[in-house]
Structure formats: C-alpha cells, structure tokens
Amino acid sequence: MSPAFDPERLAGRIAGGEPLALARGISHVENESDGFEALLERLDGRTGRARRIGITGPPGAGKSTLTAALTRHYLNQSLKVGIVAVDPTSPFTGGALLGDRIRMGELSTEPGVFIRSMASRGSLGGLATATREAADLMDAAGYDRVILETLGVGQAELDIAVSADTTAVVLVPESGDGVQAMKAGLMEVADLFVINKSDRPGADRLEKEIAIIMSIRFANRPASGAGGDADGEADDVWRMPIMQTVASEARGIEEFAAHLDRHFDWLRSTGKLEAHRRTARLRRAHDALLRRAGRDAQRIWRRASPETLDSGASPYAIARRLYEEFRETLP
Amino acid sequence: MSPAFDPERLAGRIAGGEPLALARGISHVENESDGFEALLERLDGRTGRARRIGITGPPGAGKSTLTAALTRHYLNQSLKVGIVAVDPTSPFTGGALLGDRIRMGELSTEPGVFIRSMASRGSLGGLATATREAADLMDAAGYDRVILETLGVGQAELDIAVSADTTAVVLVPESGDGVQAMKAGLMEVADLFVINKSDRPGADRLEKEIAIIMSIRFANRPASGAGGDADGEADDVWRMPIMQTVASEARGIEEFAAHLDRHFDWLRSTGKLEAHRRTARLRRAHDALLRRAGRDAQRIWRRASPETLDSGASPYAIARRLYEEFRETLP
C-alpha cells in the first residue's frame, strides 16, 4: 500500500521543529494512516530526550490549570513544552467551561508550546498507544518537557499516566477525595501528590490522610518510581512528596517543578530511568505488533460479506471463519 | 490445544443455573483460558432473554447503592439478578468503605443474585468485551436482569455502558456534576437520568440543568435509545426521563424500575431492541476476530528471543520482524 504521505519528508520537517508538520504527524498516528509507522520509525532515534510528566486525577481537580501553570514555569526557563491532553474534562480538549478555555487559549498561542488533545475514542491501536506515540513525536520535535494530562479514572487513562517518567496525582481538598483516590487506583501510579485548590478548607486533612495511607503502603513495599522495582535499598526508595498548590494563582508551582526535577534525578541516579525507557521501547514493539495483527483483522472485517455476518452462526463461529480467511489473505 | 476445562460440560452446568459453574465460566472468559470461546459458543443460543441495564456515573454518585436497591426491587418481583461491577470505586469490587461492603455483602448472599466484579486491567481482549461476555453467561444462566455497574469515566467503561439495552446515568446534586457529565460524555450514553442523594440541596437545580442541556440536544437530534437511529418520527423519539432517588432509603426505586421497563418496551415496540441485539452480535464477532488475532500476536510476543528484543532496532522494526514470524508460525 502506498503511504498517504511521505514519511521521510514529514519526519524531516518534524525533526526540524515545524509545528504544522508535528500536528499532521500526530494525526497520521492517531488515524493510523498508511505510512504512520514508517514515520515513527524514522523519528525513533530522536526520542528519549524529553522528560515526560503525567498529570492525572479526578475530574475537577484542576489538572489543566496546573498543567498551564507548570507550562508557564517551564517557558520562563526557556524550555519548550508539549502537552497531550487525553482528559475528556480538559479545556485543552474543548470540554471545559468558557473561562478555562480562554485561559488555555492564551497558552496555545505561546511560541514554544504545542498542545494536542487526543480523541478518547476510535484509535484502533488503543488510546494509550497513540498517546505515547504522540508524545514520541513531540519528543522528536525537540520539546524539552512533554506533559500528559489524563483523567485519573479508567483503564486506558491510567495506562497513559504510568507511561510518563514521573506521574503527579492531583487531588482537591473536598472530603472523600483521598478515599476516592484509593478506590480509583491512583495511588498505584503516583510518584508525587499535589493537593490543588489548597486554599479551600480540608487541604491539610487530605494531606495527612494521604500520608497515613502511604505510610501503610510503605509497610508492604517502598513507594518507588513508576515502573521502578523497589528492592528496599535506602537510596532506591522514593519518598513520595505530598504538596499543596493553588494553580490558578501559580502558588506552589516552583516547588512542584522542583519535586518533578528531584524525581527525574532520582530515576536517573538509580538507573530506573534507563529501565523505564527500555520497558517503554518494549511496550511500543509489543503494541505495534498487536496493532498490526489487529489492523489486518479489521481489514478482513470490512471485507466480510453480509451473508457471512447474517448467516445466523454464532459470533464465535463467524469470527473463526473470518480469521481463517484472514490468515490466508494476508499480503 | 486441549482446553483447560470441558466447555460442553461447563456449558451444561451454567445453563442449569449452577452459580459455581457460572463463576468458573466467567473466570475462563476473563482469563481467556483455552476453550473459553467454545463455552461462549455453546451458550450463545441461550442468550438474549435477560434485560441488560447499565448503571453509570461519576465516582461517589451512589451507583452501587442504586444497583443494590434496584436489585432488591427485582428480587421482590421474584426476578433473578446478575450484577457485573466494572467500577473500581464499587463496593462490589471491594474498593469501597467498610459500610458499603457490608451492605453489598448482605445482597451477595441472597439466592437469585449473582455478583461478579471484573478486574479493570489485564484482559487482553479488552475489559468491555470480557464484561459483555460475562453478561452473556449470566443471561444464559437464566438471570432475568443483568445490571452492568460501570464508572462513567474512561473509554472502556463507556463502551460497557452503551452495550446495555438501557443505560441509566447517575449523578448527585453537588454543583458542577451536570457540567461534569457533559464533559465526560455521559450525556451521549444516557437513556435515563437519575439524580441520586436527591435529599441533598441542589437536586432540583441539577434536574433543570440537565433538562436544559437535553432540550438543546433535542434541537440537534432527538434523544433516542442507546444504539437507536432517531429518524425524527414522534413514536421513534425517546423522551429522556430525569428523575430523583435516595437509593440508600430505596426512595424513587419503584419509579426508576418503571422507567427502565418503559424504555425496554419502547425499544421493543420501535424495533430498536432487535437492531440493538443484532449490533451486539456483530460486535461480538468483531471483538472475537480481533481477540483471536491479538492472541496469536501475544503468543509470538512471548516467544520472542531476547536477541530480537534487545537488537537495538526500532520498536516498529522489531514488531515487523515478529509479525512476519507470527504469520508463518500460525498453527
């Protein structure tokens, strides 16, 4: 099949830092246009330089405002920032209140900022896979920080959070949020806790609540970096920070960024970063393999005759029949 | 490959209504044990009798309490109820506060009730697929109502909600919930709105809020049943109820059940039920086809040599190489 675009050429333009080329490349990846893997492959050697930061939490925790504030902080350090929003409640995805959207809109016009929202449906290879690859393209395009803003509920969403180098879980003081976080499995993905909107009552209570829960977890296993294999060595143990911010007023953002840097340095010094990156590459190969198989299956599905589909046979018999066809007709 | 169990025999026991057999069958489906599709195929002819009810909404909306109250209502009508909980915040999945878990525990000992929580990770074929098939087994086992309790956030979770015949979206009066629902795409899956914990302030406000949003939607497209193709005919249009409950006191449950029956009758009378069921069968065939392809890809992945994986080639080159191997080694 002839590619829908020239991967070689587009890769060059993305590597050259052209935002329009990057946007087009991400669309090709999201749509799995013919040639999208060739594009990813050509840019593969340029990835691994960006630091990936996952910002996740329940709806209404202020993830986008925190993302915006952190982005401004990085801009002031002349760092380029890529943002992938896979949060259906995020202003970046257009799902938010007007006020938010305006605030984010300002950010999107900043040079050195690239914002992309991922459709949370459709992508055959899976939302998490497409999102990781969108981050790869931003990385290859020379963005120093790639922020993955994802809703902290749902399987695909949590898969995205854990794929970041550092994952910050954002909560708000409203009662029950700490408990809610337990339930939603957010604790498992957290490298760092941010209690946002901490000018509201209950912030200190929530901080204590989380601290207690984490201390209980420490009894079982040390809270180590995402993907890190905690073997109990002191310097191998990541003591998870719990901090407070008021993102809408940029309060606590310096400290937030400092904690992110500390965690990244910790990952690097313990060799966990290398292990994490290796795991990420293997995951890509694994995902790419399954996506290829799935894509061929989809092709067959589209070619399935109405007779076969309405044959009255069980769905499983139909699948079996189509699959045998699928194996024979592979190009 | 020889099945890990005897599908024929297990199918018979499930059809005979043996809860232990049903539990084992669901585990085989969830784990995709050898022979699980043979099991599903043998029971395929027995499915389609149960009414499937999706109960979804944000964390803390009281989905489980509503599910429990609805279940008691059905028990009083001597209807058998199967519950599939794919909500990480659900007491059914053990993720809840002690009080909730005790309340659910009582229910789980009721004859005529079968409760199963699905792990929200791992299932290769996908959480939504495994959950639909778990519901199929409950259906085949003679449960009259199958309630799918799923968190109303996240892609896989919403896929589950839309697979039910009728999907109830549960919200609570807390401010912003209506807006939150818009954002999270819950509006798209709703056949019915339940404002739970309506003894709290703000219930009427939220009801008005939803009504306004829905009236705006009506301008675009009539709110029709899940999967229904609204063609604008009066009787073809489902006017979405918005109702209030206090599930913890079983208030509004009769009305809730009545609305669910009304919607099911509407689906049946408009022919949408038949269309919906046909779509569901096609989806199963589609999912089964992709799962087969994916399973073979996984098999190859497990056989991949460290040399190949650490070859330093790009993940996409590795996937391509493995995939060619994959196609040659298919049994």
Three-state secondary structure call for residue B107: helix
For residue B139, CA distances in Å to B26, B50, B260 come to: 12, 5, 18
The tens digit of pLDDT for each residue in A120-151 reads 554 445 778 889 999 999 999 999 999 999 88
Select the residue of A155, A184, A320 nearest B121 (Cβ to Cβ).
Answer: A155
State which residue of chain B sits closest to A311, comparing Cα positions: B282
Q: Are B316 and A89 within 8 A, CB to CB?
A: no
| Residue A312 pLDDT greater than 70, yes or no | yes
The tens digit of pLDDT for each residue in B92-114 reads 655 544 455 556 667 878 889 99
Residue with tokens 């840097």: A261
Q: Are A88 and B284 within 8 A, CB to CB?
A: no
Which A residues, 58 through 97, put their C-beta within 8 Å of a C-beta on chain B?
58-60, 88-89, 95-97
Q: Are A293 and B289 within 8 A, CB to CB?
A: no
Q: Which of A40-49, A155-164, B34-43, B221-230 is predicted least confidently?
A: B221-230
Report the gap between the CA of A110 and the closest CA in chain B (Å). 26
What gap in Å lies between CA B86 and CA B128, rounded to an integer?
A: 9
State which residue of chain A sits closest to B86, comparing Cα positions: A154
Residue B139 in tokens? 């259906």
The tens digit of pLDDT for each residue in B179-190 reads 666 656 778 889
Using a CB-CB cut-off of 8 Å, the residues of chain B touching A301 are 286, 289-290
Question: How large is the average pLDDT for residues A83-112?
Answer: 68
Task: Report ipTM (2 d.p.).
Answer: 0.80
Selection from A147, A184, A181 nearest residue A167 by Cα = A147
Select the residue of B58, B127, B288 nearest A316 (Cβ to Cβ).
Answer: B288
Residue with tokens 């992508």: A123
Q: Which of A104-108, B41-45, B152-156, B216-220 is predicted least confidently?
A: B216-220
Q: What percent of chain A has pLDDT over 70?
A: 80
Selection from A42, A46, A18, A16 nearest residue A29 by Cα = A42
What gap in Å lies between CA A95 and CA A72, rounded to an integer?
A: 22
Select the residue of A96, A97, A285 nearest B319 (Cβ to Cβ).
Answer: A285
CA angle B136, B138, B142 (to 5 degrees): 110
Using a CB-CB cut-off of 8 Å, the residues of chain A touching B153 are 59, 88, 151, 153-154, 157
| Residue A246 pLDDT greater than 60, yes or no | yes
Domain ranges in chain B are 1-46, 48-221+231-270, 277-329
Question: How large is the average pLDDT for residues B121-137?
Answer: 78
For residue A94, CA distances in Å to A85, A156, B223 come to: 10, 20, 22
Which A residues, 182 through 241, put their C-beta within 8 Å of a C-beta on chain B?
182-185
- In this predicted model, which residue has the larger pLDDT, A167 or B212? A167
| Residue A298 pLDDT greater than 80, yes or no | yes
| Residue B160 pLDDT greater than 90, yes or no | no
Cβ-count burial of B77 within 10 angstroms (0-12 exposed, 13-18 middle, 19+ buried)? exposed
The tens digit of pLDDT for each residue in A24-79 reads 999 999 888 999 999 999 999 999 999 999 999 887 889 999 999 999 999 999 99
Q: Supply the pLDDT for residue A331.
A: 64
Select the residue of A156, A180, A286 nearest B60 (Cβ to Cβ).
Answer: A180
Q: Supply the pLDDT for residue A231.
A: 45
The CATH class of the A48-221+231-270 domain is: alpha beta
Q: Supply the pLDDT for residue B239.
A: 87
Residue A124 in tokens? 């055959």
State which residue of chain A sits closest to B328, comparing Cα positions: A327
- Other C-beta atoms closer than 10 Å to the C-beta of B303 total 12
Select the residue of B59, B185, B320 nearest A58 (Cβ to Cβ).
Answer: B59
| Residue B124 pLDDT greater than 60, yes or no | no
Q: Which residues contact B8 (CB under 8 A, 6 or more apart)?
A: B38, B42
Write phi, then psi, for A178 (nearest 5 degrees): -60, -50
Using a CB-CB cut-off of 8 Å, the residues of chain B touching A282 are 309, 315
Q: Are A157 and B157 within 8 A, CB to CB?
A: no
State which residue of chain B sits closest to A126, comparing Cα positions: B155
Using a CB-CB cut-off of 8 Å, the residues of chain B touching A286 are 301, 319
What gap in Å lies between CA B152 and CA A151, rounded to an integer?
A: 12
- In this predicted model, which residue has the larger pLDDT, A160 or A272? A272
